[in-house]
Structure formats: C-alpha cells, structure tokens
Chain A
Amino acid sequence: MTAPELEGPVSMTDIVESGEPSAPAVRRARPVRLAGVCALVGAIVAVAVLLVAGWRAMPVNRYEVLVFLDAEATAEQRETIRVALNDLPYKQNARPRTKAESRAEVKKLYAAAGDSLPETASPESVAESLMVRTSGRAFDCSPLAAVTGLPGVANLLVNEYRKGRHLSSIAC
C-alpha cells in the first residue's frame, strides 16, 4: 500500500497512532494535526526570531513638551517660539501655560521630592512656559533642536507619562 510513504513527514503522528488501526477517519485527521503542529512551530519560531532581533513590548506613552521662557523674552520671541513649536510634527498645537499653572507644576515637583516650595518662588519668579502634548512609543529629541536654540528659550523638558503615571523626564 501507500502507507510507508507517509512515515517521513508524519512520523510523530504515526508513533502516537501506531496502536490504532489505520481507519480512514484517522488518516483524514493527520493533515489537520500536522497543520496545527506546524502553525505552532511557526509561531514559536517567529516570536523567537523577533526577540533575538530586539523586539520588545513598547507601550504608547504620553509626552508633554515644556518650553520654559526667559523672563525677558519679548512678545515677538514668544510668537516665534510658539510658531516653531506648532511646526513640530505633533498633532496638537502649543498652548501657553500661565505663571500660576507653572507654579503649581513646580510645587508638585518639589512635593514629589519631599520638599516644600522655597519662599523665594513667588508666582512672578516662576518662568512662563509653553506646552505641547504628543504620544508615541519613544520620544525623538531631534525635532526639538528647532526650538532649543531660539532666543527667549530658557529651558526645555519632556515629561513622560504611561497610563497617567509620570515615568521620567527627558532633557534633550
């Protein structure tokens, strides 16, 4: 018969079913079982290859780009900075944050570090800032180079959040 020809590709199933009579039903099940085993092997190999190639779970994070302005920044400089921020490849537009908002933020940062806000940090002494939000699996600093060098920019900080939790900040 043709049975011996089968032994090569389906030797495993042959071993498993060696005790059973070679009923037509069993024979029909063999390709199905083979397909299942091969699909599983394919999946495992694919995962292994990707792992070795450096693939990892990279959740989408939310990023908050903060641009702190010089206290002496002119209205013109502010406008230039705002336009430059809006030109960045982010969906949202930059939004100015008032001194009160910035102060609240600084206060929060101090509280997180276990300190209270120094007396000298009056609402006036806290720098004004612009903020733009974006999201992604990693933050690319390179587009920010267009903003960093502009006159009137004091500092730039990127806050990284995952599921609302502050992970870290990046100073590009």
Chain B
Amino acid sequence: MIDLADSPEPEAPSPPRPHRLVLVAGLSLMAGAGAAVAVLLFTGWRPTPIHQYEVTVVLKVETTVEQRNEISVALENIVPGDGVRLVTREETFEQLRTAWESRNRDLPDSVTPATMREQLKISTSGRSLDCGSLDVLQDDTRVDDLLVSRVNGDNGQKAWIVC
C-alpha cells in the first residue's frame, strides 16, 4: 500500500497524456520567447526608428561636368537612396537671392550664378547612417563640403549630422 502510493514507478512508464504535452509545449514556447527577449534587452536591443537622411555634396566651383558625374556615381554607390538630384548653380543662386531678399537686401553684383557651387543631393532612410562610409567623398579634393541632415523617425525633429 505505502509502496504504491509513494513510488512514482507505476506512473512513469505510462505515456504522458496529450493535454499534458500541449501544456509542456505551450509553456516551453513562452519560456523560450521570454528568454530570447530578455537576452536581447540585456544586450542592448531596443526599438529603433527609421530616420530620413539627406546627404548633400557641395562641389567646388571649378568642378567640371565630368567630375560631377563621377562624384554622382560614387555618391549613389555609397548611399542607397532614390537617385542623386543635382542642384544647379542657378538654383543655388536663386535660393541665395530669395534668402537675401527676405532680409531686404540685394545681392552684390559680384555674386552671379557662375560663382555658385553645384550640389548633389541624395535622400535615404535607415536606422542609422554610417559617417565612415562618406569619408571617401569628404577626402575628395573636388568636394568642398558635405552636409547630412536627419529627420528623426520618432519625433520628426530635424538635425544636422556632422560627419
């Protein structure tokens, strides 16, 4: 009598019932998922927003069309975006003129579209932008300036990234 009640032997060999297996499966699934989430949290995983980036390459005044095309191709290869957009000297001039006009000032005569610098722009979206990948362009002697703007995917804040 006592033997039968205490020892698990007569119970164990009989196969586990299906509903118990389902329970085991369910609990294990949850435990596995929970452990994975805990490990990821511990190793620094967090929800990461997708930001909008715009990279602007300001070319030197004397840059030729050929050189411009070369840089345009390089830019397109580095930044996975929706194509490089050219901002012409005239467009830059117009922007400058309207900016001065809004402050009720006229541009000096020496400032003409020919003295303006062309710009190449490319937009991309991503969780981060690797500044190091832009080093090639930054070091290019035909590139005068490199600007990166970011619109935060979380709160819409606009900021400049200085690479």
Report if B13 contacts A (CB, 8 A): yes
Whether A170 sits at the interface, judged by CB under 8 Å, is yes
Could you say which of B41-49, B73-81, B116-124 contacts chain A?
Answer: B41-49
A5 and B14 CA atoms in complex are apart in Å by 12
Q: Smallest CB–CB gap between B141 and chain A, Å?
A: 11
**B15 and A43 contacting across the interface, CB-CB below 8 Å:** no
Chain B residues touching A, range: 35 or more
- Cross-interface CB contact of A43 among B35, B46, B47, B48, cutoff 8 Å: B35
Q: Does A50 sit within 8 A of B, measured CB to CB? A: yes
Q: Is A6 close to B, CB under 8 A?
A: yes
Q: Is B1 part of the binding interface, using a Cβ–Cβ cutoff of 8 Å? A: no
Are the CB atoms of A56 and B46 closer together than 8 Å? yes
CA distance A43 to B46 in the complex (A): 17
| Distance between B125 CB and nearest chain A CB, rounded to angstroms | 12
Q: Quick one: given A5-B18, A170-B162, are A53 and B28 in contact (CB under 8 Å)?
A: no
> Would you call B32 and A40 a contact (CB within 8 A)?
yes
* Contact A31 B160, CB 8 Å, known A50-B40, A54-B50, A56-B127: no
Query: A55 and B40 in contact (CB under 8 A), knowing A2-B15, A6-B15, A39-B35?
Result: yes
Given A45-B33, A47-B40, A55-B47, the answer on whether A9 and B18 have CB atoms closer than 8 Å is yes
Given known A157-B162, A171-B160, contact A31–B32 (CB-CB < 8 A): no
Judge whether B25 is part of the interface by a CB distance below 8 angstroms: yes
Give the CA-CA distance A53 to B49 in the complex, in Å: 10
List residues of chain B with CB within 8 A of the CB of A54: 47-50, 127
Q: Mark A29-55, 1 if CB is under 8 A from B, else 0.
A: 011001111111111111100100111
What CA separation (Å) do A30 and B43 show in the bound complex? 33
**Does the CB pair B32–A42 fall under 8 Å?**
yes
Cβ of A83 under 8 Å from chain B: no
Pick from A24, A42, A57, A59: contact of B29, CB below 8 A: A42
Contact status B13-A24, CB under 8 Å: yes
Across-interface contacts of B99 in A (CB, < 8 A): none
Whether A9 pairs with B21 at a CB distance below 8 angstroms is yes
Distance in angstroms from A171 CB to nearest chain B CB is 4
Task: Give CA–CA (A14, B108) in the complex, Å.
Answer: 88
Which residue on A lies nearest to B30, using beta carbons? A42
Known A-B contacts A10-B21, A34-B21, A54-B50; A169 and B161 likewise in contact (beta carbons under 8 Å): yes
Indicate with 1 or 0, residue by residue over B143-163, a CB within 8 angstroms of chain A CB atoms: 000000000100101011111
Give Cα A2–Cα B17 distance, bound, in whole angstroms.
9
Q: Which 4 A-B pairs have the closest CB atoms?
A: A42-B32, A39-B32, A38-B28, A24-B13
B residues contacting A by CB (< 8 A) are: 12-18, 20-22, 24-37, 40, 43-50, 127, 131, 152, 155, 157, 159-163
